[in-house]
Structure 1
Amino acid sequence: MFPKPPSKKLAGIESSKSKIFSICKIRPYLYIAGCGDLSHRKIKELGITHAVDATNISKTQRTPDVEYFEVKIDDDERADIKKYFIEAAAFIQKAKDSVKI
C-alpha cells in the first residue's frame, strides 16, 4: 500500500498529483522527485536546467539541455551521503546563479 500523496501545499512545499511519486517544489529554483516522475515533458514544463541524479542506476533517462551531477550511491540508510553534500550544494548554487528565476 502506498501512502496518500501530499496535499497540494504542505508546509510551503508544492507537489504534483502523482499517486506513487511526487515532484515537490522546495524553493523557486529547487525540486525533489522520484525518478519515476521525471519525463522529458515534465522537466521542460518546469523549466529544469540542472539535476542531481542520486539513483545509482546506470543508463538513466537523460533530458537534452539539462546538466547533470551524478551521485552514485545506494538507497540505503547506511550509505555515507554526507561526502556528497559539498559538491552537490555547489552544483545547486551554480545552477541557481546561472538561471533567472
Structure 2
Amino acid sequence: MNSGLKSISEIRPHLFLAGYGCITASALKQYGITNAVDATNLNSKPISGLEKIEVPVEDTIIQKISNYFETVVQYVDEVKAKGGKTVIYCGAGVSRSATLTIMYLVISENLPLDQAYYTVNQARRIISPNVGFWRQMIDYEKQKSGGTSTVELITGRMARPIPSVYLHRSIPA
C-alpha cells in the first residue's frame, strides 16, 4: 500500500487520491488513469491524454468545498461508466482531495461519513481534512439523513475541534 505524500493511493479500482507532485504522465499511465479532479488551485500545465475538471478551492476553514461535492461525484461516475479511471488530487493529497474522495464514497456508494473516512484513511494514512471541510461533510450527512451524522466535532481543551473519527483512525471493532 502506497499512502505517503509521494504516492498515488487506490481507493477503488476506478478512483485514486494523490498530491500534485505525483501527477506525472508515467504515473498516470502506470495506474491507467484517464481523468482527474484538480483541486490544487494552481495554474498547472496540461498532461497529454489526461482530461480534468478543476475545483478551485483553497485549503482554508472558510472555503466552501461542499459546492463541488455533487459535481465531483457526477464526473467520477461518468468516467467510471465509460471505463475510465479518475484521480482526485490537491497540493499534498491530504485535505481538499481527501474531502472530495470521502464525499464521493458518501454520495455515490451511500457509505456513512465515518465509514467513508475509514475507507480512505486505510488507503492513504496521511489524510486530514481541515475542520471547515469536516463541518461541511458533517452538515451534508445531516442534511441527507434527516439530522444525524456519524461524525461529530469534539471540542474541549484543544486549540480547535477534532473529528470523532480521529480517535480511532480505523474502523472500530
Tell me the TM-score range normalised by the shorter chain. 0.7 to 0.9
Separation (CA, whole Å) in 2 of partners of 1:74 and 1:53: 12
Unaligned runs of 5+ in 1: 1-7, 9-14
Would you say 1:64 and 2:48 are equivalent positions?
yes
RMSD: 1.7
Matched with 1:3 is none
Would you say 1:37 and 2:53 are equivalent positions?
no
Unaligned runs of 5+ in 2: 86-173
Matched with 1:55 is 40
Separation (CA, whole Å) in 2 of partners of 1:100 and 1:68: 12
Q: Alignment identity in percent?
A: 33
More strand by share: 1
Q: Secondary structure at the match of 2:27?
A: helix
Give the TM-score taking structure 1 as reference length. Answer: 0.76
**Structure possessing the higher relative contact order (Cα contacts under 8 Å, 6 or more residues apart):** 2
More helix by share: 2
The alignment of Structure 1 onto Structure 2 pairs a total of residues equal to 85
1:39 to 1:54, Cα distance in 2 relative to 1, 3 A: same
Where do residues 74-85 of structure 1 align in structure 2 (5 Å cutoff)? 74-85=58-69
Structure number, greater radius of gyration: 2
**4+ runs of 1 displaced by more than 6 Å?**
none
Tell me if the contact between 2:8 and 2:16 (Cα under 8 Å) persists in the aligned partners.
yes
Separation (CA, whole Å) in 1 of partners of 2:84 and 2:9: 20
